[in-house]
A and B are shown apart, each in its own frame.
Chain A
Amino acid sequence: MLLETRDLTANYGQFRALFGVNITVAAGECVAIIGANGAGKSTLMRSITGVIRNEAAMVLHRGEPIGALSSAEIMKRGIAMVPEGRRLFASLSVEENLLIGGQARKAPGPWGLEAVYELFPILRERRKNPGTALSGGQQQMVAIGRALMSNPELLLCDEISLGLAPVVIRDIYAALPKIREGGAAIVLVEQDIGKALAVADRVYCMMEGRVTLVAKAAEVTREEIHSAYFGVAA
C-alpha cells in the first residue's frame, strides 16, 4: 500500500480533532475525502504531511512508519502537498515558486518546468510575476505545479476548489486526469462532493474526526453520502 493511516489520532492542545482514522491509498489511485467544515479533513492532511507530528506507526508509507518524521522528510519520500489556501511564497516569482517545489527532491518522472507550463500555459506568461500577484485560480495552478515539480508518488490536494469561480474550478479539475497519467496517486480533500466523486476511484466521508463512509465513487448512493456527511438519514 502506498499510504496508510492506522488508528490515526490528532490533537490541538486539549482538543482532539481525529479519532482513530484509517485510510488507505494504493499506487496510482485517486481517493476523495469529503466532509463538512470541521470534519477533520485538513487535520488529516496535516498529520500525513508531518505538519502535525504523530506516533510513527500511525502513518505508513509503503509499509514504513513515517508518522513521526518532519514535513521535509515526508516530502522527500514522494508525498507532495497542495496546501489549503495555496500558500505561495510571496517573495518568489511564479517560476521560483515552481522551482522550489523540485529543489529538495530530484526524482525521475514526467514533471518539470516545461511540463507544468504545458499543463497550465498561463503560468508561462506570468512566470516573472510575484506568485501572490496572480488571480486565485492561477495561484492554485502554481500551487499544483509546485507540488508536481518533485515528481511525487502521491499528491495531496487540500480544498483546491475553495473560493474559486466555477469556470476556474473546471480548468483545475481538467488537469487532474493528466496528473494521474503521469503516475501519481491523488488524495483530493473536497467540500464539493460532485466534483470529487467525478474524478475519484474511492471516497471517504468524514464527520467530527471520524471516517463515516468508505465506498467506491462509482457505486456510492446519494443517500449513503447524505447520511455519512450529516450524520442523519436523507
Chain B
Amino acid sequence: MIWLDTLVQGMLLGGLYALFAAGLSLVFGIMRLVNLAHGDLIVFAAYLVLMGVTLLGLSPWVAAVIAMPVMFTLGWLLQAAVLNRVLGKDILPPLLVTFGLSVAVQNGLLEAFSADSRRIPAGALEGASLDLGLVTLGVMPLMTFVSAILAIVALNGLFYHTALGRAFRATSDDAVTAGLMGIEPKRVFAVATGIAMVVVTLAALYLGMRANFDPSIGPARLIYAFEAVIIGGLGSLWGTLAGGIIIGVAQTAGAAVNPEWQILVGHIAFLVVMLLKPRGLFPRAVD
C-alpha cells in the first residue's frame, strides 16, 4: 500500500503548490503578467507572519489574518505605482521589473533577517497526524490541502459570481472596451494583485509552519507555482490545483523511488504535460 500512501501524500503536497500558484494564476489570468517576484513575496509574507508571532506573541493564524490586509495594500501599491506603468504589448518590461523586484526583496530580507533559517511555530499541529488505517495523514498537510481548495472555491466564486469578477474577466478579454464600460483597467489590476497577495499570505502561513525558510527560497517556490499554473492551463484556477497535485504526486513518487529524484521527477512531469498538452490541461485564456 506504499503506492496509495505516496499518492495521497503527493496530493496533499500538491495543495501547498496550488496555494503558491493560485495568486500567480489569478494575476496572469487577468493581466497576462508573470510576476517573477511571486515566490519572494511568499517568503516576505512568511516573515511578516513570523514577526506577528515572535514580536507580538500572536498565534500564527491571527498573525496571518492581520498580515493579509497589509499584503493586500502592498500588492495594490505595487501594481498601481510600479507594474501598471510597465504593462503593455511588450512582455519584456514587466518581466525585467519583477525580476528586479525579486532580487530587491531577497536582499532586503537578507539584510533584515539574515540568512538563518526560520520557522513559524505551530505548536502541537506540527507533528499531529490522523491514522486512517491504510494511510496516515499529517494534519498540517491536510489543512494546507483544504485551505487550497477553499481558496480556489473563493477565488472562483469571486471571479464568476460577483460584479468585481465580471470586471476582472471583461478587462482580461479586452481592456479598451472595458474602459468604454466605465471600468478603469489599472484599478482592476491593482485590486487583482491585492487579492493575489492575500492568497500569497495564506500560502506563506503554511510554507512557514511546514518547513524552514530563509530569504533565498523564493525562486524555487516560483518555479513550482509557475509549473502548476502552466500544467493547469493559463487562467484556470481549478487547473492550477490539478497542476499543483500533478507536481506534488510526481515529486512524492520520485522520492519514493529515490529521495534524490524528488525535484527532478516533478520537473519531468511538467515537461511531459507540456509535450502532450502544450496549452495545459484546462486552458481558459485564449492567448
Q: Do A and B actually bind?
A: yes
Which residues of A pack against B, CB within 8 Å?
49-51, 70-72, 75-76, 80-81, 83, 87, 89-92, 96, 99-101, 103-105, 146, 150
Q: Decide if B177 touches A83 in the complex (CB within 8 Å).
A: yes
A71: which of B179, B284, B286 is its contact (CB, 8 Å)?
B179
Find chain A residues with CB under 8 A from B174 CB.
87, 89
The dominant DSSP class at the B interface is: helix
Residue of A80, A81, A103 ringed by the most chain B CB atoms within 10 A: A103
Q: Decide if B177 touches A72 in the complex (CB within 8 Å).
A: no
Among the stretches B11-19, B132-140, B163-171, the one at the interface with A is B163-171
Assembly CA distance A49 to B181 (angstroms)? 11
**Docked complex: B217-266 residues within 8 A CB-CB of A:** none
Q: Decide if A51 touches B180 in the complex (CB within 8 Å).
A: yes
Is B77 part of the contact surface with A, judged by Cβ < 8 Å? no
Find chain B residues with CB under 8 A from A104 CB.
181-183
Nearest 8 interchain pairs by C-beta? A104-B182, A71-B179, A75-B182, A91-B169, A89-B173, A87-B177, A89-B170, A72-B184
Assembly CA distance A16 to B184 (angstroms)? 27
Closest to A104 in B: B182
Assembly CA distance A146 to B178 (angstroms)? 11
Find chain A residues with CB under 8 A from B284 CB.
91
Assembly CA distance A51 to B178 (angstroms)? 11
Q: Decide if A103 touches B179 in the complex (CB within 8 Å).
A: no
Is B158 part of the contact surface with A, judged by Cβ < 8 Å? no
Whether A72 contacts B179 in the complex (CB less than 8 A), given A91-B169, A100-B170, comes out as yes
Q: Decide if A146 touches B181 in the complex (CB within 8 Å).
A: yes
The dominant DSSP class at the A interface is: loop
Assembly CA distance A92 to B161 (angstroms)? 11
Find chain B residues with CB under 8 A from A100 CB.
166-167, 170, 178, 181, 183
Q: Decide if A70 touches B167 in the complex (CB within 8 Å).
A: no
Is B153 part of the contact surface with A, judged by Cβ < 8 Å? no
Is B176 part of the contact surface with A, judged by Cβ < 8 Å? yes
Q: Decide if A92 touches B166 in the complex (CB within 8 Å).
A: yes
B179: which of A70, A80, A90, A105 is its contact (CB, 8 Å)?
A70
Find chain A residues with CB under 8 A from B182 CB.
72, 75-76, 103-105, 150
Closest to A90 in B: B173
Q: Decide if A89 touches B183 in the complex (CB within 8 Å).
A: no
Closest to B29 in A: A91
Closest to B169 in A: A91
Whether A50 contacts B170 in the complex (CB less than 8 A), given A72-B184, A90-B286, A103-B163, comes out as no
